[in-house]
Chains A and B, each alone.
Chain A
Amino acid sequence: MLRGLWTAASGMAAQQLNVDVISHNLANVNTTAFKKSRSDFQDLMYQTLRLPGATTASGTQLPTGIQIGMGTKPMGVEKMFSQGDYNQTSNDLDLAVEGKGFFKVVSNDEEVYTRAGDFKVDSEGYVCTPSGDRLQPEITIPQETVSISVDSTGRLVAFGADNTEAATADLKLYTFPNAAGLYSMGRNLYRPTEASGEALEGTPGSEGVGTISQGYLEMSNVNVVEEMVGMIIAQRAYEANSKAIQTADQMLQMANNIKR
């Protein structure tokens, strides 16, 4: 009976993790290009008390056995890289990726990737993220620039006064064989891992990489209604498992009361 007690505890722990993940999604409902996570569960090992097909003392074969499961375990928290909605900002350096590509930036001397295209210009004229990580390949915007245009293929042109071209550059996008395998570093940054595979460089607009939209930001792909429903289900599942623990407790109490 104590087995069931621990089984129910594993169910409660799993639902707790589920609520943690949902809370993180809800907290980031307004984070630029945030990608929601989903917790995946699997059943734990089974204890076989009697094998199917065992023979009884009277020589008959039993068609079914007895296997008791030991509960559930979290198998992974997976990022869902579905497209977020777009938000028009009309800001020259707000770039949204329509497709699967990532921007590459250098953060603490490390090449990392991001979907958030809310770029700024730092004091030396380099295009960077709000936390100051420079976009790769590095692009400088000359001081005399009046306006910047970026077309869907990533061609960046900085215009000076009288519509003269002050600088041009080409933006690159990067894709991964398995984006869900990326390591989330926080601050909207992702680091490649063995599971994600190597980053593949591509020109925006080419096959599968996606295009760039200037003046738009990609919003978070969290759907509040979905998360709320998930939270209700998680809470009720947690409750059901706590009832199982109470029942186990009552049964143990009764067992103790056999001897008065």
Chain B
Amino acid sequence: MNSGIYNAVRGCRTQGLRFDMIANNLANMGTTGFKKDMVFFDQALRMHVTTDLSPGNIRRTGNPLDVALEGEGFFKVQTPAGVRYTADGRFSLNGEGLLVTSKGDPVLGSSGPVSIQGKDITIDDTGRIEVDESAVDRLSIASFERPERLQKEGSSYYIYNGDEEEISEPEQTSVKQGYIEESNVVVTQEMIGMVEALRNFESYQKVLQTFDETDARVVNEVGKL
């Protein structure tokens, strides 16, 4: 048997994975703070997936507890499993007045979870939170020296697999109250990627068919006396 057949099989599987990833990007077009995944191949034709951490469009909602980050960085969240990071700033208050994400986990400020007791909430560009005109806390924002070590966990959360020293507060990032960051998925790019994945898959399929035909000839015709 020709060993090339295995390369074609691998090609089919890789294009399938690539398609799965594009489908996930498309499914999350409407997910606030979602960052799309991208595929690339190295010289050994190994597939790599990276997350494109570029910011999405910022959309105004006017809701005082919607917060978006302009520039790099993530909000810090305290989950039962440890600190997580998110770009999804649709916060709300829980029954105890703690600032929480839509999953209900407390958002971290510079001194732990942010407690808001009052009516009039303003958050300025630097993330300082004022309630009824008295300063309460400052939203904690994290940026990473090696962002490729961020790993998606679902529910718009990220976990950082690097060292604690690699996390710092970004200087250029400004906090926008009343805005949310949309997902950074660009539909045209995904559609082109999908067509590409489909046609590449088709090519590998043809290669497999050709191998099949060649093998059939070898067995049935070459051996004929």
Q: Which residues of A contact B (CB under 8 A)?
A: 1, 3-5, 7-8, 10-11, 14-15, 18, 40-46, 49, 52-53, 56, 62-72, 75-76, 78, 80, 82, 100, 175, 177-178, 180-181, 193-198, 207-208, 233-234, 236-237, 240-241, 243-244, 247-248, 250-251, 254-255, 257-260
Contact = CB atoms under 8 A, between A and B. Distances in A.
B94 A14 contact: no
A24 B48 CA distance: 43
A41 B151 contact: no
Nearest to A69: B24
Contacts of A80: 63
Nearest to B8: A258
A8 B30 contact: no
Contacts of A18: 30
A205 to B, nearest CB: 13
Given A15-B30, A197-B95, A208-B119, A69 B155 contact: no
Given A72-B28, A197-B95, A66 B48 contact: yes
Given A11-B29, A66-B48, A247-B194, A178 B23 contact: no
A67 B49 CA distance: 7
A71 B153 contact: no
A68 B148 contact: no
A52 B94 CA distance: 36
Interface in B161-192: 161, 187, 190-191
Given A65-B49, A251-B201, A42 B24 contact: no
Chain A interface SS verdict (over half): mixed
B26 interface: yes
Contacts of A40: 32, 90, 102
Contacts of B52: none
B79 interface: no
Contacts of B90: 40, 78
Contact of A177 (B30, B31, B34, B96): B96
A232 to B, nearest CB: 12
Contacts of B28: 11, 41, 43, 69, 71-72
